[in-house]
């Protein structure tokens, strides 16, 4: 049946399809008719194209295409545009949560098959850049840049098994964002295949509307096939530090203090998280120490502490040649300005690469426990500084006080490091917090209950009038999308009309419907 459906759907692309063919024959016939250098496979519901990290949705797409480069991708998009209904989803590493990289009945492009394309170093006006494939994983970009150039990108995500195109379609946020902006603020040129199947190079000065549309554009305007990423010299080592607070007010005051300092007068990375004030191995005190030899002694927690505690996390870069006392002095000076609970301080020294790959270790453990492959009903938000204390009182201290089975991140970012010409929707405040409830489902509430709790949190944010936006947004109705984009909705629609007028691209975002 799958074979017949595939043939029927692609009948407009392939004129000489034989109804008796096997799916593989059909794939090869399509491949020939499109003159692809890469390959094409029937997708099926169990295949990679129908699944993502969220594990909440699965759909059956028509075919999985493994392109060799931009020309193949352009051919596929053009072929889809000649049909009345086919859509095309670029799939990075499928680490979306809500089916954003899927195409129900459509064509899925496996961007990983292009990951080796492009790796060109350049110096422009004295600054170093690397051109990489949109399908490259950030961890490979890191390894190759450090190994061959002694340089690395400036702005990261916490976890690096994500593709360049996948994170640039959202923003790409981590502990360096306060200083350098999100990853979308750290690229200067893109090569993009638009929804019209045109291969276009764009930058701030060349096809700038497409450039800014695509950054944070949720895959709606084009498929990123190459990105030019800013580089900086790499430090050898990182001192990674965690300090604990019992009061949100003190935690947030110190976190904000650190992110508004000038470069050289703060940590090189600042994040934070909330954890339960108990001995639960995943949600409580044991989640804080950075080394198995560290002990979290609850006797140090002030009597006044409530249901949750807060951890501020900093990282300080240094070089092998730096004298240990110089590093100690600089770190002590910074910590001396903070009001954390004395004696609840943890630190380790590790190489820069080990630090950036720290979540890979978590992944290995979670895979061994089976929780990596279970569903992940995550919720990510940006909440204005003006409302974050309110959010803490209602959400952290009450709704999720027992934890979410994974990290509950909360740390401040600066709006002026984001370019408001990109498609990302942000809250109004100059300082806003990223809040990430990174749920891992083990025993306990069902996935449905956890999804319902996410809805409840978002509903509360709306009702309480919080200045907030979803990060990695997911909505079912057009009204919700309009509210999400607010006064940027018109611009978003105009960009769609310009670059993907038939709404072929990224159907899994569920914003626009395919038109003829």
Q: How far is the CB of 214 from ligand FAD (least distance, A)?
A: 7
* Rounded CA separation 231/132 (Å): 12
Tokens in use for 318? 């240094």
Q: How far is the CB of 145 from ligand FAD (least distance, A)?
A: 18
Contact between 219 and ligand FAD (CB under 6 A)?
yes
Q: How far is the CB of 342 from ligand FAD (least distance, A)?
A: 30
Q: 361, 158 in Cβ contact below 8 A?
A: no
Which residue, 59 or 223, is less far from ligand FAD as judged by CB?
223
Q: 489, 482 in Cβ contact below 8 A?
A: yes
Strand order in the sheet with 39-42: 39-42, 63-66, 107-110, 88-91
Contact between 506 and ligand FAD (CB under 6 A)?
yes
Tokens in use for 87? 């859509």
Identify residues 346-375 at the interface with ligand FAD (CB under 6 A): none
Contact between 200 and ligand FAD (CB under 6 A)?
no
Return the range that interacts with ligand FAD (CB under 6 A); candidates 17-25, 83-91, 384-392, 420-428. Answer: 83-91
- Residue 426 φ then ψ, to 5°: -125, 160
Contact between 274 and ligand FAD (CB under 6 A)?
no
Burial (Cβ within 10 Å: 0-12, 13-18, ≥19) of residue 262: exposed
Identify residues 439-498 at the interface with ligand FAD (CB under 6 A): 472
Q: How far is the CB of 339 from ligand FAD (least distance, A)?
A: 27
Q: How far is the CB of 174 from ligand FAD (least distance, A)?
A: 5
For 234, 236, 509, 512, 514, the CA distances from 320, given in Å and listed in that order, are 11, 6, 46, 52, 55
Number of Cβ atoms within 10 Å of the Cβ of 239 = 20
Contact between 90 and ligand FAD (CB under 6 A)?
yes
Q: How far is the CB of 7 from ligand FAD (least distance, A)?
A: 25
Residues binding ligand FAD: number (CB under 6 A): 36
- Considering only 69, 92, 195, 314, the residue that binds ligand FAD (CB under 6 A) is 92
Torsion of Cα atoms, 7 then 8 then 11 then 13, to 10°: -70
The residue among 24, 48, 49 whose CA lies nearest residue 105 is: 49
* Rounded CA separation 7/28 (Å): 12
Q: What is the three-state SS of 220-281?
A: CCEEEEEEEEEEEECCCEEEEEEEEECCHHHHHHHHHHHHHCCCCCCCCEEEEEEEECCCCC
| Given 71, 158, 198, 419, the catalytic residue | 158
- Measured in whole angstroms, how far is the alpha carbon of residue 366 from the centre of its chain? 19
The secondary structure of residue 440, as a DSSP letter, is -
Question: Pairing mode, if any, of strands 468-470 and 119-124?
Answer: unpaired
- Residue whose pair of structure tokens reads 């191995």 in the numeric block: 281
Is 95 part of the annotated catalytic residue set?
Answer: yes
Return the range that interacts with ligand FAD (CB under 6 A); candidates 85-93, 259-267, 412-420, 425-433. Answer: 85-93
Which residue, 218 or 238, is less far from ligand FAD as judged by CB?
218
- Considering only 13, 210, 223, 357, the residue that binds ligand FAD (CB under 6 A) is 223
Which residue, 259 or 334, is less far from ligand FAD as judged by CB?
259
Cα four-point dihedral sign 202, 203, 206, 209: positive
- Considering only 96, 98, 277, 283, the residue that binds ligand FAD (CB under 6 A) is 96
The residue among 43, 180, 96, 4 whose CA lies nearest residue 509 is: 96
Which residue, 61 or 100, is less far from ligand FAD as judged by CB?
100
| Given 271, 313, 387, 500, the catalytic residue | 271
Is 271 part of the annotated catalytic residue set?
Answer: yes
| Strands, E assignment, 5-82 | 39-42, 63-66
Q: How far is the CB of 299 from ligand FAD (least distance, A)?
A: 33
Contact between 231 and ligand FAD (CB under 6 A)?
no
Which residue, 23 or 377, is less far from ligand FAD as judged by CB?
377
Identify residues 114-143 at the interface with ligand FAD (CB under 6 A): 134
- Considering only 49, 50, 53, 285, the residue that binds ligand FAD (CB under 6 A) is 53
Question: Pairing mode, if any, of strands 379-384 and 468-470?
Answer: antiparallel
| Given 60, 95, 387, 474, the catalytic residue | 95
Cα four-point dihedral sign 447, 453, 457, 462: positive
Q: How far is the CB of 220 from ligand FAD (least distance, A)?
A: 8
Identify residues 146-185 at the interface with ligand FAD (CB under 6 A): 157-159, 162-163, 165-167, 169-174
Contact between 93 and ligand FAD (CB under 6 A)?
yes
Q: 245, 254 in Cβ contact below 8 A?
A: yes
Tokens in use for 119? 């790796």
Q: How far is the CB of 340 from ligand FAD (least distance, A)?
A: 23
Q: Which residues would be at the binding site for ligand FAD (CB under 6 A)?
A: 52-53, 89-96, 100-101, 111, 134, 157-159, 162-163, 165-167, 169-174, 218-219, 223-224, 472, 506, 508-509
The residues assigned a catalytic role are 95, 158, 271
């Amino acid at each position: 049946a799958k074979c017949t459906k595939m043939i029927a759907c692609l009948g407009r692309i392939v004129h000489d399809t034989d109804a008796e063919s096997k799916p593989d024959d059909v794939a090869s016939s399509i491949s020939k008719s499109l003159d692809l250098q890469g390959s094409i496979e029937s997708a099926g519901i169990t295949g990679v194209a129908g699944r993502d990290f969220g594990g909440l949705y699965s759909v059956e797409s028509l075919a999985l295409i493994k392109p060799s480069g931009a020309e193949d991708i352009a051919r596929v998009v053009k072929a889809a545009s000649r049909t009345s209904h086919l859509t095309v989803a670029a799939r990075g590493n499928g680490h979306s949560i809500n089916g954003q990289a899927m195409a129900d009945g459509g064509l899925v492009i496996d961007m990983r098959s292009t990951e080796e394309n492009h790796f060109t170093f350049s110096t422009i006006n004295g600054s170093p850049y690397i051109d990489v494939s949109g399908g490259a994983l950030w961890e490979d970009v890191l390894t190759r840049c450090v190994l061959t150039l002694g340089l690395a990108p400036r702005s990261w995500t916490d976890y690096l098994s994500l593709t360049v195109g996948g994170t640039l379609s959202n923003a790409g946020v981590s502990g360096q964002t306060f200083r350098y902006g999100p990853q979308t603020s750290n690229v200067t040129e893109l090569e993009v295949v638009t929804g019209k199947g045109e291969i276009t190079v764009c930058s701030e000065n060349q096809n700038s509307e497409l450039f800014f549309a695509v950054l944070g554009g949720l895959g709606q305007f084009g498929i990123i096939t190459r990105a030019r990423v800013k580089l900086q010299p790499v430090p050898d080592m990182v001192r990674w530090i965690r300090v604990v607070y019992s009061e949100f007010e003190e935690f947030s005051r110190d976190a904000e203090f650190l992110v508004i300092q000038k470069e050289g007068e703060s940590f090189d990375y600042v994040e934070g998280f909330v954890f339960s004030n108990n001995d639960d191995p995943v949600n409580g005190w044991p989640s804080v120490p950075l080394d198995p030899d560290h002990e979290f002694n609850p006797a140090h927690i002030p009597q006044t502490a409530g249901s949750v505690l807060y951890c501020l996390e900093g990282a300080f870069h240094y070089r092998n040649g730096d004298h240990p006392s110089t590093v100690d002095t600089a770190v002590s000076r910074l910590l001396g300005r903070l009001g954390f609970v004395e004696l609840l301080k943890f630190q380790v020294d590790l190489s820069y690469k080990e630090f950036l790959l720290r979540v890979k270790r978590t992944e290995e453990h979670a895979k061994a426990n089976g929780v990596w492959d279970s569903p992940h009903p995550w919720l990510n938000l940006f909440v204005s500084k003006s409302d974050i204390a309110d959010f803490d009182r209602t959400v952290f201290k009450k709704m999720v006080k027992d934890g979410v089975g994974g990290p509950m991140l909360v740390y401040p970012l600066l709006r002026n490091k984001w370019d408001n010409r990109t498609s990302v929707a942000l809250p109004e405040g100059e300082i806003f917090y990223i809040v990430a409830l990174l749920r891992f489902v083990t025993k306990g509430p069902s996935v449905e209950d956890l999804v319902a709790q996410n809805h409840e949190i978002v509903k509360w944010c709306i009702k309480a009038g919080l200045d907030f936006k979803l990060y990695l947004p997911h909505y079912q109705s057009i009204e919700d999308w309009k509210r999400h984009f607010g006064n940027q909705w018109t611009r978003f629609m105009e960009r769609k009309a310009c670059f993907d007028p038939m709404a072929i691209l990224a159907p899994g975002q569920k914003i626009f419907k395919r038109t003829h």
